[in-house]
Amino acid sequence: MAGLTYSAGQVWSDEQTSLGGFEIWWRSIPNSERFMLSARVRYAMADALLAVKAETDPKHSDYDDGPF
C-alpha cells in the first residue's frame, strides 16, 4: 500500500496506474487493511495537531519528549 496517492477521484499506485475510484478501491481491500490505514491516518492527524499545538502554545513546548 506504500506510495498510493489520491487525485481526481481515483487511487493511483503510480503516475500512470489507476486502481479505480476511492469507493471501489476501499471496498476491494480486506477489513484488516482498512483498519490499519484508518489508524495510520488518525495517528498522523493527531501527531500533526500536537506539533501545531507545541509550536503555538508555550505550555506544550515539551512535545518532543512524547506523552509518556
Q: What is the pLDDT of residues 15-66, one digit of tens each?
A: 889 889 989 999 999 999 999 989 999 999 999 999 888 888 767 655 555 5
| Residue found under cell 480486506 | 30
Is position 29 within any domain? yes
Is position 67 within any domain? no
Domain that holds residue 45: 5-62
How many domains does one find in the chain?
1
Distance CA 68, CA 53 (A): 17
Distance CA 17, CA 42 (A): 27
pLDDT in tens, 49-59: 998 888 887 67
Cell of 68: 509518556
Query: Average pLDDT for residues 1-20, to the nearest whole number?
Result: 85
- Report CA torsion sign: 46, 52, 53, 54: positive
Is position 19 within any domain? yes
Q: Quick check: 1 and 33 in contact, CB under 8 A?
A: yes
DSSP reduced 3-state for 40: helix
